[in-house]
Amino acid sequence: MQDRKKTGFILSLSEPNLSTYSVTELQNELVELRRHLHQYPELSWGEYETSRLIISKLEALGLNVVKGLAQTGFYVDFDSAEPGPGIAWRADMDALPIQDEKNVPYASKVDGISHMCGHDVHTSIAYGVAKLLATREINFKGKIRIFWQPAEEQQPSGSPDMIRDGVLDGIDAVYGMHCDPHVKSGKISLRPGPETAAFDAFQFEINSGSTQHSARPHKGPDAMWVGHQMVQNIYQFAGRMVNALEPTVVSVCQFNAGTALNIIPKQVYIGGTIRTVSDSRRADMKDYLTRLAISLEKLHNVTIKTDFGLGAPAVVNHPVLYRYVRDEVRSCFGDKAFEGREQSMGAEDFSFYTSEKPGLFIRVGTGSGPETNHPLHSCMFDIDETILSPTASFIAHILTGHSKKNLQLS
């Protein structure tokens, strides 16, 4: 086992649980920052004040901030005179359109908007990593880039624009994290291979050309009836024509139509999501839904407009990066701090980065009791804040450690 005191980052490694470490100056700063962001959340593509605040704090450290990526995105680079790999760490900044219903002094002050997915946590921890790299004398090779992106929660999301604007230029590997209330505070969870599912949204607009009287449905096409057939066929396809060994989840989440109890509407709107684990299955599902719409159009003499959102591929963790971080978790905190995990059928736009570069997505446990075990996107979501500084410290450790290892990622 390595001499832990030489890392220069991990605080008081005598205990295997991150949440047991003493509060430091950095910890106090990160708690204050996280609570401020929690009180003043901003929705996707509108993270202007969040961006300004973090940029001002980075510039106060004497760092040169590269701004203007994807509107509100930005990054800082740490360059070594010694050649080495380019390594990046990503944080997301946007909040959700959810009312914060927690009874805490740092609850959201913005009506109907809150950080119920923990992006305030990710933003704060990434700042902590940057501060550690800026204020500690450390040895590393190559380049370490810390970057903040907008709009993880919305389609189209922010990572494609960040990539377009050059955030991965000169980068060989990219890391990211998500806080996880279902993992015990102090544990770090990760898996090799697929981490999340691929995601696609679908929308159908069925138009019969005219409303009909509910007493005489035979007088013209019935958009409502066609809509019900479409939903039934969607669910039957997922259950009967997809290999049960290939995780596939199709959910119809919107069915909007009608203005009165005795009028058959002429328009029906249907929307939902497809979640799969492979690009080939994504293509199959889109193809089936397109063909279904065409066949129902012809059969029932209606028009059906079909639309698919941009979607996102699956996050795929690189096996070498997985083994590296797994071993570092065990080395730094003990075997009990590491927790394997099943693949999630949720989606995450970090996947656009792992589609371009070798990457690893880490889950950091933040659940320590009833107040912090509420699921992501719950109106009661909160975290165990004791993980903030130790997590930032560990991330700085793995980034600098990676820079000095000859990891073969090709």
Mean per-residue pLDDT, 124-151: 95
Is pTM beyond 0.95? Reply is no
- Rg (Cα) of the chain, in Å, rounded? 24
Residue 52 has pLDDT above 80, yes or no: yes
Q: What percent of the chain has pLDDT over 70?
A: 94
Which pLDDT value is given to residue 16?
38
How far is CA 79 from each of CA 10, 131, 140, 394, rounded to the nearest angstrom? 22, 15, 9, 19
Kindly indicate the confidence band of residue 406, based on its pLDDT and cuts at 50, 70 and 90: confident
Beta bridge partners of 316: 194
Over the stretch 209-248, which tens digit does the pLDDT of each residue have?
Answer: 999 999 999 999 999 999 999 999 999 887 777 877 788 8
Which of the residue ranges 202-206, 330-334, 382-386 would you say has the lowest mean pLDDT?
330-334
Kindly indicate the confidence band of residue 10, based on its pLDDT and cuts at 50, 70 and 90: very low
Which pLDDT value is given to residue 242?
81
- State in Å, rounded, how far the first CA of the chain is from the last one: 27
Which pLDDT value is given to residue 7?
35
Whether residue 359 contacts residue 175, with contact meaning beta carbons closer than 8 Å, is answered with yes
Over the stretch 337-358, which tens digit does the pLDDT of each residue have?
Answer: 999 999 999 999 999 999 999 9
Residue 95 has pLDDT above 70, yes or no: yes
Is 94 annotated as catalytic?
yes
CATH number (3.30.200.20, 3.50.50.60, 3.40.630.10, 3.90.1640.10) of 4-195+314-404 reads 3.40.630.10
Kindly list the domain boundaries of the chain, sorted by start residue.
4-195+314-404, 198-308
Which residue among 42, 152, 195, 284 is the active-site one? 152
Class at the top of the CATH hierarchy for domain 198-308: alpha beta
How far is CA 12 from each of CA 116, 204, 270, 330, 389, rounded to the nearest angstrom? 30, 56, 54, 15, 12
Which residue among 42, 47, 92, 94 is the active-site one? 94
Over the stretch 303-317, which tens digit does the pLDDT of each residue have?
Answer: 999 999 888 999 999
Omega before residue 156 within 30° of 0, cis: yes
Is 152 annotated as catalytic?
yes
The structure tokens listed for 300 are 């029932």
* Cβ neighbours for 61, distance < 8 A, ≥ 6 positions apart: 130, 131, 134, 135
Which of the residue ranges 49-58, 278-287, 304-313 would you say has the lowest mean pLDDT?
278-287
Over the stretch 70-79, which tens digit does the pLDDT of each residue have?
Answer: 999 999 999 9
Which pLDDT value is given to residue 361?
98
Mean pLDDT, the chain, whole residue set: 92
Query: How would you label 356-378 residue by residue, b for 16+ Cβ within 10 Å and e otherwise?
Result: ebbbbbbbbbbbbeeebbbeeee
